[in-house]
Amino acid sequence: MASWPGRAGSALAHELGGLITIQRVDEPAALLLSPEQADQVRGTLRQRLLTVQLAMLMRQPAVWKSELDNVGTTLAKYFDTRSPDTVAAQNLARELAQTDIAVRMPDVSDSLNAVAALRAAGFKTSDQD
């Protein structure tokens, strides 16, 4: 029969075993972030994502790709890359960065040629008020 301190130590180790995990950290700077710095990293990510959104609306593919690449780098540097949420965010950033947001404007030369042909044929608009 084990001694009382031995049983207590074993029970304590069993109970605390689920609370403590040991992981390898590739980027030690991530461990040194204070809560304020972690909030700042999240705020920076939000700003970058807003810039991505604006780049899409303003049709700026270079800014779009650059900012999404920066988002992916920040996620890899400061967040747990084994977390399902982080993996999903990285995959989404990667997929979005590969998306072409450049809009090809339609060629209006056919319309201009049709207008020129109508003018050459003597077509005039009627003045109806």
Q: Which is higher by pLDDT, 60 or 129?
A: 60
pLDDT of residue 126: 58
pLDDT of 20 reads: 63
Backbone angles phi, psi at 124, to 5 degrees: -125, 145
**Model pLDDT, residue 107:** 84
**Which carries the bigger pLDDT value, residue 58 or residue 33?**
58
Per-residue pLDDT of 101-127, as tens digits, reads: 888 878 888 889 988 898 888 877 655
Assign residue 5 a region (left: φ > 0; alpha: ψ between -120 and 50; beta: otherwise): alpha
Q: Where are the domains of the chain?
A: 36-103
Q: How confident is the model at residue 13 (pLDDT cuts 50, 70, 90)?
A: confident
Of 69 and 12, which is predicted with more confidence?
69
Does the pLDDT of residue 47 top 60, yes or no?
Answer: yes
Q: How far lies 82's CA from each of 11, 22, 40, 100, 115, in Å?
A: 29, 13, 22, 29, 61
Task: Give me the pLDDT at residue 90, please.
Answer: 95
Q: What is the pTM of this model?
A: 0.60
